[in-house]
């Protein structure tokens, strides 16, 4: 089998990859929805993969893997990798999990990072009311993640939150020492959310990036009695092109609260310092940013050797990304906790992808499906209607 074409369409806001072969099998991959600008980046790799055998996934990846970087510049390589596995599975008439070594579990646990309700405000009561709605969501999530601190509007809407200058822009640019009031405000909001959840639902917090080491330690210690599932991205994180494992190590070894990072990290090599230094208790690579499905599995196995847990990121990965997460998470060792359930926008995405279960999530779990490849596919008739004029030939 040979790759004859690599295509990319922006469907909704998601860059979607289609790899075409000379045997009539196509494979699909998908990058996060806020990244429509990646289309030319995906197409950059086309001359490196055309003519190769897509079922030799690793051999193809060796041609392009080095030409990627931390989020968002690992997404194109990652989506191509997903599409290669989709083809390899279809060609073998097996689900991708079989090609990765087989299932460890029949159902995969997900956590809520994306089923959201508008916040009334960023007070403890606002957080509590919002958490009550998420607790009541039909997916029955057993872990809910909420944004606080620098991973929220707190720096700009809570008066005197930090001593640093703040900016109300996206990509989490704020960083600095918290005031005592700022720190107390965060702790009060966490306590209010915990009061709603009790011990029925785990509470994870997306915190940054942007905390200083002393604040991170003070905060992690202050919430120790609450048995939080994890504190994510205190130091570095989303859209940070470096890791700073030494700083994470200092925080982790100063508290019993589990510390988590990794969603923006590209490739296994960039997790090495975190593992060698036991710098975090949980890592959260995203298959659509880390370099793909097999890369994520490798990171999980290496984490397990080091006693580090695994909670893959995935909020923006869309429905093809959801399929990739289900396939790979079925195969991960017992350090697997849950993956972040992707929510998809616009809503019509659910009408253009076939073979998803309905409902997708039951009691915080997804049944692992057995169709070949990633096991989902486009309803081409419906999907064609969502193509922009630039992408009309995507399914041809």
Binding site for Mg ion (CB under 5 A): 206, 263
As measured in angstroms, the least distance from the Cβ of 153 to Mg ion is 15
Report cis status (omega within 30 of 0) of the bond before 88: no
Which residue bears the tokens 């005197």? Answer: 160
Question: For Mg ion, which is the closer residue by CB, 152 or 344?
Answer: 152
Question: For Mg ion, which is the closer residue by CB, 27 or 147?
Answer: 147
As measured in angstroms, the least distance from the Cβ of 25 to Mg ion is 35
> What's the rounded Cα separation, in Å, for the pair 334 and 307?
10
Question: For Mg ion, which is the closer residue by CB, 147 or 292?
Answer: 147
Please state the φ and ψ torsions of residue 256, each to the nearest 5 degrees. Answer: -90, -10
Residue nearest to Mg ion (CB): 206
As measured in angstroms, the least distance from the Cβ of 171 to Mg ion is 12
CB 347 within 8 A of CB 318: no
Question: For Mg ion, which is the closer residue by CB, 52 or 340?
Answer: 340
Question: For Mg ion, which is the closer residue by CB, 237 or 377?
Answer: 237
The packing angle between helices 245-252 and 213-222, to 10°, is 30
Q: Which of 101, 16, 51 is nearest to 377 (CA)?
A: 16
As measured in angstroms, the least distance from the Cβ of 280 to Mg ion is 13
As measured in angstroms, the least distance from the Cβ of 113 to Mg ion is 7
Q: Please give the C-alpha separations between residue 186 and each of 124, 154, 155, 243, in angstroms, as whole numbers.
A: 8, 8, 11, 24
DSSP-H helix ranges across the chain? 39-44, 46-49, 57-64, 75-92, 96-99, 124-135, 154-157, 180-197, 213-222, 245-252, 272-276, 293-305, 318-329, 349-352, 380-384
As measured in angstroms, the least distance from the Cβ of 11 to Mg ion is 24
> What's the rounded Cα separation, in Å, for the pair 366 and 258?
25
As measured in angstroms, the least distance from the Cβ of 237 to Mg ion is 6
Question: For Mg ion, which is the closer residue by CB, 28 or 172?
Answer: 172
CB 25 within 8 A of CB 17: no
As measured in angstroms, the least distance from the Cβ of 195 to Mg ion is 24
What's the CA dihedral at 267, 3, 29, 232 to 10 degrees?
0
3-class SS of residue 356: coil
Ramachandran assignment for 385, one of left (phi > 0), alpha (psi -120 to 50 degrees), beta (any other): alpha
> What's the rounded Cα separation, in Å, for the pair 248 and 224?
17
Cα angle value 244/249/253 (rounded, 5°): 160
Token output for 47: 């001359």
As measured in angstroms, the least distance from the Cβ of 358 to Mg ion is 28
Question: For Mg ion, which is the closer residue by CB, 39 or 175?
Answer: 175
Question: For Mg ion, which is the closer residue by CB, 139 or 263?
Answer: 263
Q: How remote is the C-alpha of 321 from its chain's centroid?
A: 9
Question: For Mg ion, which is the closer residue by CB, 206 or 289?
Answer: 206
Question: For Mg ion, which is the closer residue by CB, 139 or 206?
Answer: 206
CB 41 within 8 A of CB 72: no
As measured in angstroms, the least distance from the Cβ of 28 to Mg ion is 25
């Amino acid at each position: 089998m040979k790759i004859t074409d690599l295509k990319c369409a922006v469907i909704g806001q998601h860059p979607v990859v289609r790899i075409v072969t000379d045997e009539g099998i196509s494979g699909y991959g998908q990058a996060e929805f806020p990244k429509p600008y990646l289309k030319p980046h995906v197409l950059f790799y086309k001359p490196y993969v055309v003519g190769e055998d897509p079922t030799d996934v690793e051999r193809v990846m060796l041609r392009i893997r080095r030409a990627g970087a931390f989020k968002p510049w690992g997404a194109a390589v990652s989506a191509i990798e997903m599409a290669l596995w989709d083809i390899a599975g279809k060609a073998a008439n097996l689900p991708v999990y079989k090609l990765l070594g087989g299932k460890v579990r029949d159902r995969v646990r997900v956590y809520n990072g994306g089923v959201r309700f508008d916040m009334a405000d960023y007070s403890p009561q606002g957080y509590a009311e919002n958490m009550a709605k998420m607790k009541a969501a039909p997916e029955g999530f057993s872990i809910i993640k909420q944004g606080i601190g620098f991973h929220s509007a707190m720096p700009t809407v809570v008066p005197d939150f930090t001593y640093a200058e703040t900016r109300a822009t996206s990509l989490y640019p704020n960083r600095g020492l918290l005031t005592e009031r700022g720190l107390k405000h965060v702790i009060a909001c966490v306590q209010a959310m915990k009061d709603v959840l009790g011990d029925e639902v785990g509470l994870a917090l997306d915190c940054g990036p942007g905390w200083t080491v002393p604040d991170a330690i003070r905060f992690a210690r202050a919430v120790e009695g609450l048995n939080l599932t994890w504190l994510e991205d205190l130091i570095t994180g989303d859209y940070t092109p470096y890791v700073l494992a030494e700083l994470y190590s200092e925080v982790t070894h100063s508290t019993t609260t589990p510390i988590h990072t990794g969603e923006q990290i590209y490739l296994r090599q960039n997790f090495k310092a975190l593992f060698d230094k036991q710098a975090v208790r949980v890592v959260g690579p995203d298959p659509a940013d880390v370099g793909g499905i097999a890369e994520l599995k490798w990171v999980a196995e290496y984490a397990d050797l080091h006693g580090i847990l695994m909670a893959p990121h995935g909020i923006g990965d869309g429905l093809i990304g959801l399929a990739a997460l289900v396939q790979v998470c079925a195969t991960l060792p017992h350090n697997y906790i849950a993956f972040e359930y992707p929510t998809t926008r616009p809503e019509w995405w659910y009408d253009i992808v076939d073979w998803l279960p309905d409902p997708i999530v039951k009691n915080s779990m997804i049944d692992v499906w057995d169709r070949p490849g990633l096991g989902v596919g486009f309803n081409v008739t419906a999907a064609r209607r969502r193509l922009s004029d630039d992408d009309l030939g995507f399914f041809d």
